[in-house]
Chains A and B, each alone.
Chain A
Amino acid sequence: MKRNVAIIGGGQTHHAARRHDVNQVEMVNEAVRAALLDARMTIDEIDAVLLGNMEFFEGTHMTDCWLVDGTGVYGKPGLKITTGGTVGATIVCAGAHHVASGLFDKVLCIGFEKQEEGDTGAILSGVAHPLYGRSMAGAALGYFAMMGTSYMATWGAKEEHSAMVAVKARQNARKNEYAHLKLDITIQDALNARMLAYPIRMLDMCPASNGACAMILADEKTAIDRCKKPVWIRAMDSAHNEQFELDWRDVTTTRPIFSKVSAARLYRKLGVKNPVEYFDVFEIYEPATWAELLWYEDLSICGPGEGFKLIEDGMTEIDGPIPVNPSGGVLSTNCIGASAMLRVWEAALQIRGDAGEHQVPKEVRRALTTAYGGTNWSVLIALSKSSDE
């Protein structure tokens, strides 16, 4: 990047299954106001506003146009991007590009979804190719069910390991005032939950949430002048697999996979040899429990087939040596267009030391975030307390 870019503020809504008290405009505005307050800024100071949302989920075309009164983009430059579950992170990248270009100093990035206004499962089945895939499509659930069975059959993991991830997420969420599913559950509760599609039970899957996240990105001068604890965007990488390459996730595949390719590129950009030593906390996009175990492996936090041992040993707990998703993650809060941005914002809060009850009990200098979307897409972002290391 030609200029260093920092996160100088952010905010989120209290995420929930029902938000009958607000429409989309009002809900997004809650996050925008929180971000402006956090950055001690007014909307008049913002140079451009970028919005991410998957408009088919709510059935409103061009939400960026409808939401102008809530986003604050009236009379300002702005754009809307849609890339699926990754979109919140894509918007952060787009914001970083805007600032790094030298044309903008302060950019407001927003991601949101109000899932109660549509049928996400049905609409997500519309991801599949209309001729070859749609008649068999099982939305996100079908994809992760196949991932889970493949993982267990290949590595000998048990449903208990999935349950451990489910419990970790919801127990962490209890420490996060904004999380949607703050559940005091046990492994037995997760194993007894209603079966959706083997091996995915109700508690193994993310909820359908309503919520928004907003962040303000700025150039180095603004960041140093205006922000006590800027968090720097050090590197970004995006990768997709084309749609027929991996219709579902066979964990033994030897073909190149978006997540591993993207991590390898990002680590090369930063000179990361050992991600466990380099990063102090991870905020990853896990729409289902099994995806978290695969992220451990794809990010080289552990070797292939070792992900379930990591959770078994408690390594990724909030107070473990490799904390993953102290916020409760996507398993606890999934407002799709905001989910990937929430990973970045939660990681930034950890670096600032402002995560409150879910602050990890060690020094956090660097963090890695991931996004998960499309059928096999990701955006990885590395954050740091320092602009140059």
Chain B
Amino acid sequence: MSERVAIVGVAQTKFSPKRADVNYAELAYEVIERVLADTGLQIEKDISNSISCSHDIWDGQTISNIGITDVIGGHLRNEEKMAMDGSTAVYYGTIGILSGEFDCTLLLAHTKMSQTNRNIVNNDAFDPIYTRMLGFDYTSAAALQAKRYMHVYGITEEQAASVVVKNLSNATRNPVTHNKGVFSIDDVLNAPIVAAPLRQMDIAPDTDGAVAIIMASEKRALEITDSPVWVRGMGTCYDAHYLGDRDLSECMALEKAAEQAYRMAGINNPRKEIDVIELGEEFSYQELLWLEGLGICEHGKGGMMIDSGVTAMDGDLPVNPSGGLLAGVPANVMGLNRVAEAALQIMGKADGHQINDVKTAVAQGHSGFCGQHHCVIVLGRN
């Protein structure tokens, strides 16, 4: 990138299984108000545009960004809605600032999963002609992916369960999480099966919440904060739609997105050069598979990453010290939460789950079942 773009502020709600006390605009307002207060910025004076992330079908409202136009500062101003995972808001926000059209951008992702039924929403993402009537949802598709991944590379259910144990334990140190605790591998393996081999504890729970981030051009960032978090690289990529058109034990789209991001950031050896990773494990096995896609280990070696303790909080390359998605983060918000947690690590503001001396952090988000679209963001300190 010829010029630098930074994250200058982050705010997250406390995530919760059900926020019956607020509608989604009020939920959004909580984080927007806080990120503005933290950065000392005002919408009218300082924010040049806004980007929101949510889905009409999740929100149960057509053009659902109408519901947050007022709180996001869209009134008589520019607001655009990415109907994708929240990580893509950071991607597009960076592009907007690099284009020279904007210099300070407010990002928001919000969803109240408690207001709808994830199985029905997920099922609508399958093409209406050939696969939808099979009754697929993201969980049953993920079960196929987990089976395939385990079959091809000998990844075990115990290794996937270890991811759950690690992340829910990490989550006990993160005040915004709601699904957490100290569990054993047996606890996970004894949980009821939802779609074999996935058990209840392997699946990110339904959650309500919102995340807001403010990004700025280099000039504005240095005026706003002493500790800007620079976007050093980013990438996105789509895979095929139909499950039969992909080898589900591979993740081509993630490999390509990571390749773009690393090239931009000048990262040659991701295993050595990255200090912490926040990735989107909607299902436990995905943490292992996505590490392979991110080039942290070779194909099929994801299981060894968790066995060796490298990805533990006190390991050489901590993965999801925040507790990850298994700790409870809403759909659509997932990726913006990944970026927010990675940014907090670089700022040194990850209360309770801070990793020492983080210079380079990677965040990853995905949209579509079995990770059809991936987005990778590399963040760095000055």
Contacts and interface: CB of A to CB of B under 8 A. Distances in A.
B99 A101 contact: yes
A236 to B, nearest CB: 7
Contact of B367 (A3, A62, A374): A62
Interface string A151-164: 00000000000000
B98 to A, nearest CB: 4
Contacts of B235: 77
A19 interface: no
B67 A243 contact: yes
Contact of B63 (A80, A97, A244, A374): A374
Interface string B81-110: 111100010011011101111000000000
Contacts of A375: 66
Interface string A278-300: 00000000000000000000000
B129 interface: yes
A353 interface: no
A384 B127 CA distance: 40
B244 interface: no
Given A54-B56, A59-B128, A79-B91, A127 B61 contact: yes
A74 B101 contact: no
B94 to A, nearest CB: 8
A180 interface: no
B57 interface: yes
A316 interface: no
A256 B76 contact: yes
Contacts of B88: 79
Contacts of A240: 69, 74-77, 79
A97 B75 contact: no
Interface stretch (A65-73, A301-309, A324-332, A339-347): A65-73
B233 to A, nearest CB: 11
Given A127-B62, A236-B101, A242-B70, A77 B237 contact: yes
Nearest to A82: B83
A245 interface: yes
B116 to A, nearest CB: 11
Contact of B62 (A54, A78, A237, A238): A54
B98 A2 contact: yes
A199 B88 CA distance: 43
A40 interface: no
Interface string A43-63: 000000000001111011110
A62 B81 contact: no
A40 to B, nearest CB: 25
B38 interface: no
Nearest to B57: A61
A374 B80 CA distance: 12
Given A55-B57, A64-B373, A69-B241, A81 B83 contact: yes
B99 A97 contact: yes
A66 B66 contact: no
A242 B128 contact: no
A309 to B, nearest CB: 28
Interface string B214-255: 000000000000000000000111111100000000001100
A96 interface: yes
B125 A126 contact: no
A73 B368 CA distance: 14
Interface residues of A, number: 65
Interface string B322-341: 00000000000000000000
Nearest to A134: B61
Contacts of A99: 99
B373 A129 contact: no
Nearest to A78: B238
Contact of B76 (A55, A117, A126, A241): A241
B307 to A, nearest CB: 32
A23 interface: yes
A143 to B, nearest CB: 13
A65 B125 contact: yes
Contacts of A374: 63, 65-66, 69
Given A127-B61, A130-B60, A80 B239 contact: no
Nearest to B84: A80
A127 B23 CA distance: 15
A60 B56 CA distance: 11
Contacts of B127: 60, 66
Interface-central residue, A69, A99, A103, by most chain B CB under 10 Å: A103
Nearest to B115: A130
Nearest to B92: A79
Contact of B78 (A67, A123, A131, A239): A239
Contacts of B200: none
Given A65-B367, A82-B81, A130 B121 contact: no
B134 interface: no
A203 B122 CA distance: 39
B76 A239 contact: yes
Given A78-B238, A131-B23, 18 more contacts: A1-B99, A55-B55, A56-B56, A59-B124, A65-B238, A69-B240, A73-B238, A74-B238, A76-B237, A76-B238, A79-B82, A90-B80, A94-B80, A97-B92, A126-B60, A127-B66, A243-B66, A258-B76
Interface of A: 1-3, 23, 54-57, 59-62, 64-69, 73-84, 90, 93-94, 96-103, 117, 123-124, 126-127, 129-131, 236-245, 256, 258, 261, 373-375
29 contacts: A3-B99, A55-B55, A56-B62, A59-B128, A61-B121, A61-B125, A62-B84, A67-B241, A74-B239, A78-B237, A79-B82, A79-B88, A81-B83, A83-B63, A84-B62, A84-B66, A90-B80, A94-B80, A97-B99, A100-B99, A103-B98, A127-B66, A237-B78, A238-B77, A238-B80, A240-B69, A240-B76, A241-B75, A374-B66
Interface of B: 1-2, 23, 49, 55-57, 60-63, 65-67, 69-70, 74-84, 88, 91-92, 94-96, 98-101, 121-122, 124-125, 127-129, 235-241, 252-253, 256-257, 260, 367-369, 372-373
Top 5 A-B residue pairs of the complex, sorted by shortest distance between their CB atoms: A101-B98, A100-B99, A61-B124, A2-B100, A242-B70
